[in-house]
Amino acid sequence: MQLEALVRAAVNEALLQLNTPCEEEIPVDRPPRREYGDLSSRVAFLLAPAAQRNPAVLSQEIAACLAGDPRFVAVSAEGGFVNFTFSLAALADVVRSVLGRGEAYGRGGGGGGRKLQVEFISSNPTGPLTVGHGRQAALGDVVASLLAEQGWQITREYYLNDEGRQIELLGRSLWARYRQALNQEVPLPEGGYHGEYLLTLGHRLAAAWGDRYPEWNAGTQEVFRKLAVDEMMGMITADLEAIGVSFDVWTKEGDLHRRGLIEETLNSLRERGAVYEHEGALWLRSTDHGLGRDPVLVRSDSTPTYLLVDIAYHVDKFRRGFVKVVDVQGADHVEEQRQVLLALNLLGVPAGFLDYCLHQFVTVRGQEGVERMSTRAGRFLRLRDMVDDLGRDVFRYFMVMRKPSSHLNFDYELAKSSSMENPVYYVQYAYTRIASLVREAERLGETPEGLASVDLSPLTDPSERELILELDRFGDVLRTAADEYAPHLLCEYLEGVAKLFHPYYSRVRVLGQGRTTHARLALLSGAGLILRRGLAVLGLSAPEEM
C-alpha cells in the first residue's frame, strides 16, 4: 500500500518533468514476472494515445527521469511498462509501519464511523442450522468484520420469522410427534416438518405432559407454536455459538406487524400507484419496471406475503439510520431481491442503500448426487455435527475460502486433515512458528530493544524482500475484500504470506546471528502481526502453540 503510493508519487514527479500530466490515478500493478521488478506501472499505455506518443518511448523517458532516485535501486522501461525495484530503505519502512501501527495496521477509514447493518442467516426457526446456513453464517460474520475494518459501525442482525404459515405448520408437526409419542396415530400435516429433532422433542413433551393436550384447538396451537419456536431458537443459538457468531439485534416479524409497519408500507406503495388488485389479492406492479412477473403483496385471505413484510422491514432499516445495509442471501433469493430493490426505489430510499451479498450453495464432497437439502423434509446435514467434528476454525475457513458467487465444494477429507495440506493449519502454523521463535529469542536474551527501531539493513535475502512486498499489500487486500464482500481474497492472501514464510523459515537461521537476528525478528514479528490480524478478521484463532 505504501509502496504503491511511493511508485505513484515517483511517476507523478517524472510526468511533471516531462510535461505530460496524468489526470487519472496512476496505475500500479504487480508484474507477472519477478525479473520485471517489485511493482510496475502501465501509465505510458494510458497517456500515449492522447499525447500522441509511443508508449515504449514514453516509458523510457519516465524511467530516465527516475534514474538514481534513492527510493529505488532500479527503474527500467520494458515494452511500454515502467518497472520499479525498491531500495532496501523503502522496504524497511514497510516493516517499520507494520510494527509502528500494530493492531491498527491495514485498517481503512472509508466507513467513517457511519452505521452499516449486515443481515445474515435469518433462517426460519423451524429446525437446526444446516451446512448451507453455515456458509452464510461464516460469510456474513466475516463480511461484517471486513467492513468494520474499513471504519463502519456495524450491526449484525438476524431477522426472525416467528409467525406465519411455516410456523403454524411447525407447531402442528410438533403436536403430531407429541401425540405419536403417546401411541396415538396422528399423521404429520401436509407439507409438515419431518426432521428427527421434532421426534425427540415430541417424546420429551409426552414424558413431561402426558395427555394434557389431546386435541388440536386454538389453545393447543398457541402452546405448541410458541414452544416450537422457543425450542428451535434454542437450537439455533447453540449452533451459532458453536461457530462463534453472535448478533447485536434480533428482529421479530411479529414486532413489525404490531408496529403497523406492514400496513403503512402497503399504503405508501398504493399511493404511488404501484399496487393493484387481481383475483382478490394485491399485487406489485413490477413488470412495468422491467421485472419478470408481478408478485403478490397481500394474499386473497388478506395475509401479507413475505415479500411485503421484507419491504417493510427494509423501510424500517432505513429509518433506523443505517447508511448502508448488506443482506447476505442464498442464490435462490435473486428474484425477490429485485422486487425489494424496486419497491425501495419507489418508496424513495436512495439507490445503493441496500446491497446484496449473494452466495451459491454448498455441496459436501462425497455427498454429491444426493437430493437438495430441505429442512421441511428433514433432509440436511446439520451444521453442528460438522463443526463438532472439524472444529470451528476449519469449518469457518472452508466456508469462506471460495468466492461467494461460486458453488462451494466442501472437501471434507481435506478439512479433516490435520497436516499442512490443510490451508487452515498451514496459515495458523505459520503464526505458531513465529510465536515460538519470538519466545525462544526472549529465552535466549536475543530480543532487540525496540523492534520498530531495529536496523533492517541485514534483510538482503530475496525471500525477505518478497515477504515485505507481501506485507505491504495487507491493507489493499482488506479493502478490496470489504468492497467486494469477498472474504476469500483474505484467505488467499494469508495462504500467500504463509507460503513465503514456511520455506524461508526452514532455509534461514534466525537466532544466534547478531544484528541479522534482530532484523529478522523484526520482520517476522511484522509477519506474525499480520497473520494474527488476518485470522482475527476471519474469526479464527492464532494459536501460540498447536
Partner RNA sequence: GCGCCCGUAGCUCAGUGGACAGAGCGCUGCCCUCCGGAGGCAGAAGUCGCAGGUUCAAAUCCUGCCGGGCGUACCA
Q: Judged by CB under 7 A, does residue 75 bind RNA?
A: no
Q: Judged by CB under 7 A, does residue 32 bind RNA?
A: yes
3-state secondary structure 77-115: EECCEEEEEECHHHHHHHHHHHHHHHHHCCCCCCCCCCE
Q: Can you tell me the distance from the alpha carbon of 478 to that of 480, in angstroms, rounded to the nearest whole number?
A: 6
Q: Judged by CB under 7 A, does residue 25 bind RNA?
A: no
**Binding residues for RNA restricted to 79-98, rule: CB under 7 A:** 79-81, 83
Our CB check for RNA shows the closer of 71 and 299 to be 299
Nearest distance from C-beta of residue 304 to RNA, angstroms: 8
- Strand bridging mode 72-78 / 39-41: unpaired
Beta partners for 157?
Answer: 119, 249
Q: Judged by CB under 7 A, does residue 381 bind RNA?
A: no
Q: Can you tell me the distance from the alpha carbon of 282 to that of 302, in angstroms, rounded to the nearest whole number?
A: 9
**Binding residues for RNA restricted to 154-213, rule: CB under 7 A:** 161, 164-166
> Among 12, 27, 14, which residue's Cα sits nearest to residue 67?
14
Encoded one letter per residue, x for contact with RNA by CB under 7 A and - for no contact, window 407-446 reads xxx-x--x---xxxx-x-x---x--xx--xx--x------
Q: Judged by CB under 7 A, does residue 366 bind RNA?
A: no
**Binding residues for RNA restricted to 223-262, rule: CB under 7 A:** none
**Binding residues for RNA restricted to 121-140, rule: CB under 7 A:** 124
Q: Judged by CB under 7 A, does residue 36 bind RNA?
A: yes
Nearest distance from C-beta of residue 436 to RNA, angstroms: 3
Q: Which residue has the cell 419496471?
A: 289
* Angle at 459 (CA atoms; ends 458, 464), nearest 5 degrees: 165
Encoded one letter per residue, x for contact with RNA by CB under 7 A and - for no contact, window 320-359 reads -----------xxxxxx---------------------x-
Task: Centre a 10 Å sphere on the Cβ of residue 293 and count the other Cβ atoms it contains.
Answer: 10
Q: Judged by CB under 7 A, does residue 290 bind RNA?
A: no
Q: Can you tell me the distance from the alpha carbon of 489 to that of 491, in angstroms, rounded to the nearest whole number?
A: 5
Q: Judged by CB under 7 A, does residue 301 bind RNA?
A: yes
Q: Judged by CB under 7 A, does residue 279 bind RNA?
A: yes
3-state secondary structure 168-190: HHHHHHHHHHHHHHCCCCCCCCC
Q: Judged by CB under 7 A, does residue 406 bind RNA?
A: yes
- C-alpha cell at position 310: 421484507
Our CB check for RNA shows the closer of 89 and 331 to be 331
Q: Judged by CB under 7 A, does residue 461 bind RNA?
A: no
Segment near RNA (CB under 7 A), from 129-137, 177-185, 272-280, 347-355? 272-280
Nearest distance from C-beta of residue 86 to RNA, angstroms: 14
Number of residues that bind RNA (CB under 7 A): 85
Per the CB < 8 A criterion, the answer to whether 352 and 323 are in contact is no
Per the CB < 8 A criterion, the answer to whether 162 and 252 are in contact is yes
Nearest distance from C-beta of residue 258 to RNA, angstroms: 17
Our CB check for RNA shows the closer of 333 and 379 to be 333
> Among 333, 344, 334, 353, which residue's Cα sits nearest to residue 117?
353
Among 216, 250, 306, 318, binds RNA (CB under 7 A): 306
Q: How far apart are the first and last CA of the chain?
A: 32
> Among 54, 51, 116, 111, which residue's Cα sits nearest to residue 80?
54
Q: Judged by CB under 7 A, does residue 281 bind RNA?
A: yes
Question: CB under 8 Å to 293, separation ≥6 — which residues?
Answer: 286, 287
Per the CB < 8 A criterion, the answer to whether 309 and 262 are in contact is yes
Nearest distance from C-beta of residue 135 to RNA, angstroms: 12
Our CB check for RNA shows the closer of 297 and 471 to be 297
Among 19, 211, 507, 514, binds RNA (CB under 7 A): 507
> Among 144, 127, 142, 143, which residue's Cα sits nearest to residue 384?
127
Q: Judged by CB under 7 A, does residue 40 bind RNA?
A: yes
Q: Judged by CB under 7 A, does residue 314 bind RNA?
A: no
Per the CB < 8 A criterion, the answer to whether 73 and 85 are in contact is yes
Nearest distance from C-beta of residue 483 to RNA, angstroms: 12
Q: Judged by CB under 7 A, does residue 2 bind RNA?
A: no
